Structures are given as structure tokens and as C-alpha cells.
Structure 1
Amino acid sequence: MKHPPFENTVTHLFKQAEEQGSSAAVAYKQDGAWHDISWEQYASDVHTAAAGLVKLGLGKGDTVCILGFNCYEWVVMDLAAIMIGAIPAGIYTTSSPEEVAYILNHSEARVLLLESTEQWNKIIAQQANLEHLKDVVSMIRCEDIADEMAMDWATFMGIGSDNDKAAVEKLYAASAEHEAATFIYTSGTTGPPKAVMLSNKNLVWTASQAADMIKLDATDSSLSYLPLSHIAEQMFTIHAPIIVGWKVYFATGILDVLENLKEVKPTVLFGVPRIWEKFYTGLKEKLGEASGLKEKIVNFSLKAGSENSADIFSGGDGGGWKYRLANKLLFGKVKDALGLSNLRVGVTGAAPINAEILKLFASLDIPILEVYGQSEGSGPTSFNRPRNNKPGSVGPAYPGTEVKIADDGEIMLKGPNVFLGYYKDQEGTDACLEDGWLYSGDVGKFDEDGFLYVTGRKKEILVTSGGKNIAPIPIEEDLKQIPAVAQAVMVGDNRNFCTALLTLDVGYLLKDKMGVDITDISPLELVNVLESKGKTVQGFAESAEILSEIQAGVDKVNSKYAQVENIRKFAVLPRDFTMADDEVTPTFKIKRSKIYAKWADTIDSLYTG
């Protein structure tokens, strides 16, 4: 088969098939056991799926949408589209029927791969409004869909002829590095999602740089569980593993992540802050329970771990007798409990994370590197390195890029990872892309060592009625460290003082206030368990004990900041912020404007009461 002049991700897949052959490329769990798929099979299935797309009439520039949780069919369809010069576009499984229809229509997708009848029902609800969709392919685990436009995966994989495969090879050989290779639909914190156009060059260059920077190789492995509609998960599930040749395990579900981690023990793990925060809360709780000799062991080990990590983060080799002893006494046990015993590289990104979380993990010999960026930069703008890491910063500029701060504090990026523009939105493209520089919309600063610190979004900077500019994110992150608090949103724009909306951590309420062991309770069931015991979140939100406890925490946070940045009043809400209520994105970013609008009466009461 003739390859294109520029080696795109599909080219690297075929190379891995030649070099690694029957070695495992990916694995999925079925009937209680993990099953491998080889590099040869992976490449062959992509070629077959590409022929299926050609049979359905797709070619260069056409769009294929994918709606489902991470799985083998997801990545095969994605790569099959890239192979023929078509453009894959993921849709978040949490999207409403209206949001699904918007993306299908905006992208002009003619083919949709979907996961379940639950997702199919969204198509049924909007079928009269779908202008371009012709064919629906269901994933292997999907129930039968009785509709003339639908076919199952096996049928789809069998429709391509030899002539179609030959057509695939011609389209593949003609693919170019600067053509759009994927659409990443932004999660839309401020309005309808935009389609970020990323090229073959964007994807391959960015993934290759990451592999070189973190020293990843074919002996590594990762767990795929965050939405593949997000560029970061695509990098860690599709592009980097294929370029490097490491094995990817597909999680069985977002609620099975801890169980899956213990089973597969990956060496590489990407997590959004909310994932690391959940681990952190449990760890802090367990470590805090130690007393007597165990407490002394914990304190010794954490100190040894902090010293070891600090040495490695500044370029040293770490080690020493204290570290070796601490590893035997504590670190190994903690890592085993989390499924991180083989972890070499942990990465956090997509939203801010409190530095205290990173420091605790570092003290437990679990290094987590914070990355900062956006879809428009193919993911990374800056990235902490394994041996050049400052927890609390988002690292030096990504290798091979230029990053600078504009006069107004905005972070700017130039490099081979900068996107082509927004699909069908020249005005939006022109607003953030000028002379090759991507204007991020974020505000930040560099320290004397070249480490970047992000202080907030330009549009989210609160300007008080007295004219003081306040970056809410660092304060919100500190408020979230109050044990009873799950989420925090600061208010103060055009106001004469600052307030906050806080939600309660139901796990904390059950364990610390009701004595319930929550170890085996699903996060989705916590509220139900609480209510089954005659309590409500609203009841705790109105509890004098809880309010007093939170006030003490708020006072402690206030002591760190200037008086004008202090939280003078707060409201504890009767429920957490959710995707279902359109208050957070699928990667758990706060939709500030939506929250302000939804809780407007509560906010007003803080200023009138």
C-alpha cells in the first residue's frame, strides 16, 4: 500500500502492524476477562471500516460523527475516517437530543456511529430536524435498532468491496498534512459549541512531542476512560499510543475506573482534576485516621516522599534509604490500593487543580504533571516535565512552541499545534488567531524560571463595583479544600463585595456526619443512600453545624487573600452542580454564566439580605 508523503496517524498504525504484528495494541473486557486485539488486526479493521465508509458514499472532506463511550469501534471509525480524508467528530454521550442534532447538522455528518438505544432515542427525538444524516452504525454492544437507516457493526464491516478498498488506498495516499483531520467540538461553556479543526500535522506533531518529552515507549500502557470527544483523551488513546506503540485498555465504564485500574495497572494515566480530587479526598481521609506508630510511619514516609519528589522534579535522581524504607512501609500499599503500582506518569489537565493535591500525590511517590492548553492548540500550551516540575504551575512552554504574555495578561501560543480555525466560523477564527498566534482567552504570568501560571479566564475575571480585578479560580480551588465543600463558584462582578455559591460533598456527609462506610457506594448513589437514611442535602445545607464548619473554612481561605478578595457571604446550595442541569461540561468545567443565571435569586439574596 502506498503511504502519503506526510506520515499521519494511520501511517503510524500500519507501521506498528508491520513491526509489532501479533502483539497487543488494545484490550477490552468482556465476560469478566480482558481480551487483546493485535496491531495487525487493528490496522486491518481500520482499512475495512474505511472501505465501509466509501461504500456509504463518503470521501475527502465528508464528516462522520461518533456518539458513545470509549471502545474499540470508536477509535476504528475515527481512524477509518482519517484514512480516506473524511473528518471524524465526537459527540459527548451526555449531550441532549438538541445538542446532538446541532453537531450533526453543523458538521453535515452523513454517517453516525452510536453506542446504544439510549443514544438512538436522541436521534429519533430530532429526526425531523436532521438535514444530512443518512446512515447510522451501531457499536457491538448496542441493542438491535429496527430502522432502515441503521445497521449493526458486523454488517457495516462487511459492506466494503475490493473496489472500495482500492478506492480507500487512493484516498489515503492523497491525504495531506495540513488538511483537517478531525473536528473537536468545544464543550460550550459560553454558548453553542465551536468545531475546532485540527490537521494531520497538528495531531501527529503534538503526540510525537509528548512522547519524546515524557519518554514514552512501547512498554507503556494506559486506560482509556475520559470522553474521546475531548482532544486530551484522543491524544492518550489514539495518536500517542499508535505513534509510540503502547497498549491501550478500554475502561468498562466511567464508574468502573478504580476497578479497571487495579486490574490493568497502567504506566500512564491522564485524569481531569475531578478524578484526582476524588482520589485525594479518600487518601487524605485514610492517612488522617492513622494514630500512634502508624501516624509516625505516615509522617516519616510523606516527608521522605516529598524530599524525593522535590529532588526528581529539579532534575535529580531521588532515592536514598529514607525513600526506600517509605516505599516499603507506605507507598507500595497506597499505589496497590489505587491500581497505580506501575504508574510512571500521571497527567492532569482540562481544568485547574489545587497545588495541595499535586503535593500530596508527590509525597506518596505518585508524580502528576499538570498540563495547560485548549483544543485550539491540539491540547498542550505548556507542560510540566518529569524532571522539571513545579506543582502549582502549568509548566514551561510545550517543546517546539512559543508562548508569551500579551500586554493585558492574555496567554498567547504559536507553534505546529495551533489549529486551522473554527469550521464555518471565520469571525470566531479571526477573533482568536492572528499572524499564527493563538489568543487563548486565559490570563497568566511566567515566573523567573519560565514556568507558566494561569490566573483565570479574561471573560471570567470579576471586576468589582470599586474597579478591582479579581481572578476567581485560585480562590475557588482553595474553597474546595474545605472538607464539606464539593464545588465553589465565586460571585462579585459589578458588586461591592465578593460572595460564593458552595455545594456539599455528599460522601463527606455520609462518612463524617452519619458514620456510613462509603467504600463500595457508587458516586451516583450517594444522594440516594443519604435520603434512604432519612436525611437530605438541603437539610445539611441548612444545618447550623455545617454552616459553622464551612464558615471556619472560609475564614481560613480569606486569610490568604487581600480584603477585597475575601468571601463576605456564601450560600450552600441544596444540590451539586451537574451536567444534567447544564452547569458543568463533560470534563467537569464550571459553566459560570449558566450557574449565575440559574441561581440568580440566591445570588441576589446574598446582596440584599
Structure 2
Amino acid sequence: MKNKLNIAEQLKQKYHKCEEVTNFKEMIERSAQIYKTRTAFKLKNKDGEIYSKTYEEVKNDIYALGTELIENGLTNKRIAVIGKNSYKWAISYLASSIVGVVVPIDKELHSDDVINFMNVAECECILGDGKNLKTITENIEKLNNKKTIFVDFEKSFEHYIEAGRTLLKKGNTKFEEIKINPDEMKILLFTSGTTGNAKGVCLSQKNICSNILSIYGIVKVKRSDLFFSILPLHHTYECTIGFLLPLYSGASICYCDGLRYISKNMLEYHPSVILCVPLLLESMYKKIMKSLKKSLPEKYTKDGENSIDKLPFILRKIVSRKVKNTLGGRLRVFIVGAAAVNPEIANTFDKLKLNSLQGYGLTECAPLVAGNTDFFKRNDSAGLPIPTVEYKIDNPNQEGVGEIIVKGPNVMLGYYNMPEETEKVLKDGWFHTGDLGKIDENGFLYITGRCKSVIVTKNGKNIYPEEIESYLNESPLISESLVIGTHKENDDETYVNAQIFPNKEAITEYLKGTVPTKEEIKKVISDVIANVNSKIPNYKHIKDFAIRDSEFEKTTTQKVKRYGNNMKIDK
């Protein structure tokens, strides 16, 4: 009798088939040839009217822009791209990465940081939104290269496209003749994560293309799919999965006008796929549950969180359809990353026939390492290893928890001009992530925290702040939490302290409509903490807590920063 394969091994027999590409130029040409007149982008004109860009038009625009960049002497040069998510950003990224090395920069950064990254990367050109470029030109004396070329999306960008088209019509073939080394650095990303210390991550086009193919192998992308782009494109999560994956697959992309317009845009575009972070999914979940509580009989909603389970089959189908209609009517899947999702929230969306697939990745891995799939999923896990990628736990403790290390064609070339830092994380072909986790017997990965944020007690026991935060954040009465280790005067023991940003609206409802005082909020949160402490061992107990008046500072992917002002303990 044959041994039964575990789930990770079974998955290998089910991958969706895909056609290999190793660089962006090859991918663009392939997509233009196969999907030619299909819609690649749904965009809005100045009057707010929606129009389409076909795959053939996208290729032509990239060729035109790339040709003009070459004409301006930018072959093999560093080219920065900055701005809100847009079609212009997208084709700038692709053209720049083919002509030279693209340096995507966070539009929310202070101008000093933007200029610093441009100086470190030795950028000779920057394409971007006018307001971002203006903050740089106002501080031009800080820029090392005074001859930097500025291409404003609102002004000179169209001129570059037209000039490139003219050159192409005259027979210029310089862009077409470019040969890309798939293993050469073509993308330079600066990342500080949640613990500070910005590093330049060097990626090749092969790194990213391998990740695109791996993701396609576990999550089927249909040609009829429309991806709704919300998260910042400078981040590899949105860039690889929300931009390059659909372009490879023949799907379409549309852009959110801003966080306040998410609901409006979904009704306008009718997307089928959304990449999001847990915070956005939780926000949608709360709105849905609030709406259900108002519209359904009390017998189905009095327990709040479990209301979907109580619904009869027909009523559940009606509720599912109504929820889908509020999200545009076509939504079929949420791809969730950047942090762990509350399993109860994911379960609720599953019951509403809205598939939520969470994964685990890092910029250094272009980014995906593990993911839940079309074939197997567990809502309390980051998923299974994606095709071509291996992971294992280095030096696990008695509970099986240790550092996650990764091997695969998606792993970065190294950190830019930081050989010592590169040597620390790339050892014997394995990338040491700095993340802690464990793997079950079926290959599912569970993230427990960051190596740097572990709290160690006097007795040598490890406490993972993220684990305790997940318990706290399960309560609808808490919006956000941050757990840290603290010391008392003349005491060398480490104590668990929780900083809490309460959900005042939920607390008001909990108190039957009474606007809570500070003391009442503290009492409610104290009860939540007592409940959390009852679920965990004594050495992990929260010994003290403080109520915050404002949200925590976050990264652009909405992760709470574990440095700076967030680490100052409120009294």
C-alpha cells in the first residue's frame, strides 16, 4: 500500500499549467500577441468616463516611452518612478526596467527620503506625479545629480510618448533590440519594513517572472477577471500580484481613485479580484456585519459574529448576493497579504461565497513564498509553498517554532551595496527571512512573529507579540494593538505591555448607546485583556496596558510600525 501524500505533495500534482517567461519584454510581447485586442486596463478620462486600453496599445506605449528614454541617454541607467497608482506609473515601471534599472519609490515619503534614495541609487531620471516631483525640485540642492531628468506625468510625459512614437515610425529599433539578462539587477526597491533600517533590495526580472508563474500555478486567473488596484504599486505585493500577474494572464486592471472611493469605484468597475491587507478586509467585514444586524431578524444576529451560520440556506444565498452586489456584483476572490487575517473573518467571507486567500511573502522574495490555493486552503495559515519555492524552519524550538528560511528562483540577488548585510541573510543558498514560524505535517506555514520583536523572559521563555496581538484584535472592541516587553525599576524581569487603540464606536454600541468615558473604556478593555489572559500561559499574560488616543503609525501596506513613536509607552 502506497503512503498517502501530504497536502503539499498533492498540490504539486494540481498546479495550473503556464507558459514560461523570464523577462518583462518577453512577457509584454507574448501578452500583446495572444491577447492583442483584449482590455488590459480600464481607465478614466478627465470627465470621469471609463475607457479601455488594449494589450496591443499597452505594448505600443511601452515601446514608445522606452525608445524616448533611450534617446535621452538612459540605457542601463537608474530610473526612479513615483506617484499614485496609475496607467502612467505602470508603463513607466515596465519601460524603465527594460531600458535601465527601475527604482520604485513610495509617494508618501518625505522629500528628504526620496532624494536620499535617488542619491543612493544614483538615479539619472525620475518619472512621476507633478506634486511629488515638485517637492524634489524645491530641494534640488540636496540632489547629487543636478542633471537629473524630470518627467512629469501631467506635463512632459505625453511628449515623451509622442516623441517615442515618432522615432518608431522613422524606423528606430533600439528598444526592440534590447537583450535582457534575466539574472541581472533590473529592479531596485528600498524597504524599511516594520522595524526601520532601509535597505535596497536588488531583484532581477527572472526573480519576479518566476514568482508570477508560481502564483499562476496555484491561483487561476481568468481572462475575464478585472483586478481592482488599491495598494501602492511601489510595493512588490501589489506590483507582482496586482499588476504583472494579470498582464501575464490576459486579465484587466482598474485603479482605485483613493481609499474614500473604494465602494464607489467597485460599483463603477465591477471587479472580480482585489488585493488587500487585513485592515481593509476587516473594515469590509464590519460594515457587512453591521448591515446584517440592521436588516435581519434578531434571532439571526443576537450573537453577532455567528449570524451567517444561523441563516437558512435560501436566506444565506440571498444575503450573499446582496453583499456581492454592494461590492460590484462580480467579486470572487480577495488575495490578502502583509499580515495575518483573523480566521473568523475569512471564514465569514467564505460562507458568503467570497473566497479569501492569504499568503506570506517579503520584498526580498519578489514577494510570495507561501499561499493558500484554489485547491487547498486553511484560513488560520499563510498557506503552502508555491511552485519552485522551498521553505523550512531553521533551529526550531520544542514547539517547532524557528526562523523561516527560503530557497527559490524568486529570492533576491542581494542588498544594494551592503555585502555584509547580504551575507547575514543569504547562507548556502537559503534566504533567512527574520520571520518566525512553524510548519505542520501537511506543509502549511504558520507565522508566529519577527525574530527582532520576540520578548524573552528572565527564565528564557519566548513570547511572540504578534500572537498576543492576534488574540486582542479578535475583539471588535479593539481597533489596533501593539504588544511590547517592558521592565520595572529595580526588576530585571520582562513584562508584557499592551498599547491599545480602542474601537470607540463598538464600545458605545456595547454599552447600549452610551458614549463611554475614559474610565469606562479602560474597564471594557481590561475585561477583554482578562479574557485574552485566560487563553494563554501565565508567562505570556499582559501585565499592564495603556489606551491610545490615536491610531498607530503604519507602513504603506498598513502594517503597524515596530519603531519610532509607536514604541513610546503611553501612560
**Conserved 8 A contact 2:405-2:431:** yes
2:427 to 434, 439, 445: 434
State yes or no: 1:450 paired with 2:443: yes
Q: Distance in 2 between matches of 1:6 and 1:381?
A: 19
Partners of 1:506 and 1:120 lie apart in 2 by 39
Partner of 1:548: 523
CA–CA separation in structure 1 for the residues paired with 2:49 and 2:486: 53
Which residue among 393, 396, 405 is the counterpart of 1:405? 393
* C-alpha separation in 1, matches of 2:433 and 2:486: 21
8 Å Cα contact 2:455/2:494 also seen in 1: no
> Structure 1: 5+ residue runs without aligned partners?
141-150, 306-321, 517-534, 579-583
State the partner residue of 1:570: 545
Report matched runs for 1:93-492 at 5 Å.
93-117=107-131, 119-132=132-145, 134-140=148-154, 152-160=156-164, 161-162=167-168, 165-171=172-178, 174-289=179-294, 290-292=296-298, 295=301, 302-303=308-309, 325-339=314-328, 341-408=329-396, 409-492=402-485
Letter in 2 for 1:455: T
1:269 CA displacement: 1.4
User: 1:458 Cα deviation (Å)?
Assistant: 0.5
Structure 1 residues 506 and 58: alpha-carbon distance in aligned structure 2, compared to 1, 3 A threshold = farther
Q: Cα distance, 1:297 vs. partner?
A: 13
- Structure 2 distance, partners of 1:574, 1:328, is 40
Rounded to whole Å, the distance in 2 between the matches of 1:9 and 1:374 is 20
Match of 1:33 among 30, 40, 49: 49
Greater mean deviation of Cα atoms: 176-185 or 409-418: 176-185
CA contact (8 A) 2:230 2:276 kept: no
- Which sections of structure 2, spanning at least 5 residues, go unmatched? 1-19, 397-401, 488-492
Scaled by the length of structure 1, the TM-score of the pair is: 0.83
User: How far did residue 182 of structure 1 move?
Assistant: 1.3
- The CA distance in 1 between the partners of 2:160 and 2:259, in whole Å, is 27
Q: Is the 8 A contact 1:50 1:80 kept in 2?
A: yes
CA contact (8 A) 1:87 1:181 kept: yes
Once residues 458 and 296 of structure 1 are traced to their aligned partners in structure 2, the CA distance between those partners, rounded to angstroms, is: 41
Cα distance in 1 between the residues matched to 2:205 and 2:534 = 49
Higher relative contact order (CA 8 A, sep 6+): 2
Contact 2:96 2:102 in 1 (8 A): yes
| Shift, 1:247, TM fit | 0.6
User: In the superposition, relative to structure 1, how do residues 178 and 225 fare at CA in structure 2: closer, same or farther (>3 Å)?
Assistant: same
Contact 1:362/1:368 (CA < 8 Å) preserved in 2?
A: yes
Partner of 1:592: helix, strand, or coil?
Answer: coil
Give the match's secondary structure for 1:376: helix
Change (3 A) 1:298 1:572: closer
TM-score for both structures, normalised by structure 2: 0.88
CA 1:106–1:192: 2 relative to 1, 3 Å: farther
Structure 2 letter corresponding to 1:52: E
The one-letter code sitting in structure 2 at the alignment partner of 1:349 is: G
The alpha-carbon distance between structure 1 residues 443 and 54, as it changes in their structure 2 partners (threshold 3 A), is same
1:24 aligns with 2:36: no
Displacement of 1:465 after TM fit? 3.4
Partner Cα distance (2:407, 2:439) in 1: 16
**Structure 2 SS opposite 1:382:** strand
Return the alpha-carbon distance in structure 2 between the equivalents of residues 36 and 346 of structure 1: 24
CA RMSD in angstroms comes to: 2.6
Q: Percent identity of the aligned residues?
A: 28
- Code of the residue aligned with 1:355 in structure 2: it is P
- SS across alignment from 2:104: strand
Classify the secondary structure of the residue corresponding to 1:360: helix
Q: Which has the higher helix share?
A: 1
Tell me the amino acid that sits aligned with residue 142 of structure 2: N
Write the letter of the residue equivalent to 2:319: L
Displacement of 1:300 after TM fit? Answer: 9.5
TM-fit CA distance, 1:180: 1.6
Matched, 1:590 2:565: no
